Amino acid sequence: MNRTIVAAGIISLAAFLLVRVSAPERELPQTPEMAAAARLMSDAISAVGDYRELLGVTTGQSIDEGLDPNRTGLIGPKLSPLFTTVGHLEAKRTTTNPDMAALLVHLLQKAGVETGDRIAIGASGSFPALLIASLSAARSLELQPVVIFSLGASSHGATDVDFNMLDLYRFLRRETGLTVAAEAVSLGGGDDIAGELEEETRQSLIVQIEESGIHFIHEPELRRNVAARMEIYGAPAVFINIGGSDANLGTSPVILDLEPGLNVDIDLPPERQRGMVFEMAARGVPVIHLLNIRGLASRYGIPWDPVPLPLPGETKMFDAQQPGGLRLWLIATGYLVALAVAVFMGRRSPLRGSAEP
């Protein structure tokens, strides 16, 4: 056996063990605020599920256990008059884990919020459970959430015409005590005016909004839409983006570079392309980006598509994305130097027996 290969293997194993010891996955500590937020979200989901069961008796559209095995009432049909874009069923079900609210508490605290701070929430209808998670986290931390949500939804989001995002929002305000400092609603979808929906559906949603008394944003021009939203949000400590609303993401491909979770230093596109995410970043506001659910779950140890749902506080979350730091750079440098020495020595020393006559 070539001694150089054996030496390289030993060096590689030693370096791997050093990295594992020096940079283990950091389990997130379960704080009282995280536990409280998870319980709030769990209670809210139970209330929604019970209400949807009762609503099903009236409408004849009971919870589909094939789509929603945990009976949360938050998983809509794949296609409906409210459908705007393709979504992933497993991602939608993953967000119903009550510990999503605990994760939001961690991210908000990491962003530096303090009791009484105003936070901005921009939520599309694609991930209704994440609106509940955000409001539960805000209440646990005694924050003042300002919510602007939209009614268009991707597959399996708030796509049920009998219980759309407006219905959910009003139910949460009425039945669960999740309060907000200010609120507004838009149609969502293309240009934030639901251009892809049928006219009859669009007009029906407009009537629902007008009857609700909630401020209605109906502005297809991106910069004017952003300006209208900023007037409502004011000067928040954090912006939480939920889903892929045009008004929140804007039109720049730079949005694809955002990490799931907390983003502080964000490259800014031209002003004309900026949605709320970049407008907030331009003003120095940290952004919590909740769109790539697979990436979010992988990074923080959230179980993927669990059945049954974990109990509040049961998820052992961690942060798998850590900066390398000086220690890891030293290990990497030492590893490369050791490999180079092993290869050099192997070339200088002939194999045993090669000099025999």
What does the pLDDT profile of the chain (357 residues) look like in tens digits? Answer: 466 666 656 766 665 555 445 545 578 888 999 999 999 999 999 999 999 999 876 666 789 999 999 999 999 999 999 999 999 999 999 999 999 999 999 999 999 999 999 999 999 999 999 999 999 999 999 999 999 999 999 999 999 999 999 999 999 999 998 999 999 999 999 999 999 999 999 999 999 999 999 999 999 999 999 999 999 999 999 999 999 999 999 999 999 999 999 999 999 999 999 999 999 999 999 999 999 999 999 999 999 999 999 999 999 999 987 544 444 445 556 656 666 666 666 666 554 443 323
Dig out the tokens for 102 from the structure: 């605990």
Instruction: State how far the Cα of 122 lies from the Cα of 247, in Å rounded to an integer.
Output: 9
Cα 7 from Cα 276, distance rounded (Å): 54
Size of the chain, expressed as the number of residues it contains? 357
Nearest to 261 by CA among 231, 235, 285, 295: 295
Q: Number of C-alpha atoms within 13 angstroms, CB side, residue 163?
A: 26
Spatial CA neighbour of 94 closest among 328, 266, 300 = 300
Say how far apart CA 1 and CA 127 lie, in whole Å: 57
Pairing between strand 261-263 and 287-290? Answer: antiparallel
Q: Which regions of the chain does DSSP assign to beta strands (E)?
A: 26-27, 118-123, 144-150, 182-186, 216-217, 239-242, 261-263, 287-290, 318-319
Q: Which residues contact 153 (CB under 8 A, 6 or more apart)?
A: 76, 82, 83, 84, 87, 124, 125, 126, 128, 159, 164, 165, 188
Q: Give me the pLDDT at residue 328, please.
A: 46
Q: Based on C-alpha coordinates, what's the Rg of the chain?
A: 25
By C-alpha distance, which of 315, 321, 319 is closest to 102?
A: 315
pTM above 0.95, yes or no: no
**pLDDT at residue 2, as a whole number:** 63
First to last CA, the chain: 21
What integer pLDDT is reported at residue 213 of this predicted model?
96
| Residue 144, strand partner residues | 118
Tell me which residue of 201, 240, 246, 181 sits closest to 219, measured CA to CA.
246
SS3 308: coil
On whether the CB atoms of residues 257 and 263 are closer than 8 A, the answer is no
Which pair of tokens denotes residue 122?
């921009």
Distance CA 69, CA 150 (A): 26
